[in-house]
Structure 1
Amino acid sequence: MDITTVAPHTSAVSRQGDWYLVQCKPKQDERAEENLVRQGYECARPVCSRERLLRGKRQLVQESLFPGYLFIHMPLGANWAPLRSSRGVARVVAFGGQPLPVSQQLVEQLQARAQSSVLCAFKPGETVTLKDEGFAGIESIFMSMDGEERVILLINLMNRQQQISMPLASIANS
Structure 2
Amino acid sequence: MPAISSDRSSWYLLQCKPHQDERAHVNLVQQNYVVFHPQFVSERVIRGKAHRVRDSLFPGYLFIHLGGNDNWAPIRSTRGVSRIVEFNHGPATVSENVIEHLRARCIESSESPIDEPLKPGEHLRIVGGPLSTLEGIFISSQGTERVMILLQFLNREHAVCVPLSNLERQQSSIQTTI
TM bin, normalised by shorter chain, reads 0.5 to 0.7
CA contact (8 A) 1:47 1:65 kept: yes
- Structure with larger RCO (C-alpha < 8 A, sep 6+): 1
Deviation by residue 1:17-57 (Cα, 9 ceiling, x = unmatched): 10011111111111101111111110111223333344555
Superposed CA deviations along residues 82-103 of structure 1, whole A, max 9, x for unmatched, are 1110011111121233111100
- Asked if the contact 1:119–1:172 (Cα under 8 Å) also holds between the matched residues in 2, the reply is no
Tell me by how many angstroms 1:146 deviates.
Answer: 4.8
TM-score (norm 1): 0.65
Amino acid at match of 1:75: G
* Structure 2 residue 75 is the aligned partner of structure 1 residue 59: no
CA contact (8 A) 1:139 1:155 kept: no
Separation (CA, whole Å) in 2 of partners of 1:173 and 1:110: 31
- TM-score, normalised by the number of residues in structure 2: 0.63
Structure-2 residue corresponding to 1:84: 76
How many percent of aligned residue pairs carry the same amino acid?
Answer: 40
Task: Say whether residues 1:68 and 2:60 are aligned partners.
Answer: yes
- How do 1:126-145 residues align onto structure 2 when only pairs under 5 Å count? 144=141
Alpha-carbon separation, structure 1, partners of 2:128 and 2:8: 42
Q: Cα distance 1:145–1:115, how it changes in 2: closer, same or farther (>3 A)?
A: farther
**Higher normalized strand content (fraction of residues):** 1
Q: 1:108 aligns with which of 100, 107, 110?
A: 100
Q: Which has the larger radius of gyration?
A: 2
Q: Identify the match of residue 17 of structure 2 among 12, 21, 25.
A: 25
The answer to whether the Cα contact below 8 Å between 2:141 and 2:148 also exists between their aligned partners in 1 is no
CA RMSD of aligned residues (A): 4.0
Unaligned runs of 5+ in 1: 1-14
Q: CA deviation at 1:166?
A: 6.4
Residue of structure 2 equivalent to 1:152: 146
Give, in whole Å, the separation in 2 of the partners of 1:81 and 1:103. 23
1:34 aligned partner: 26
* Residues matched between the structures, number: 155
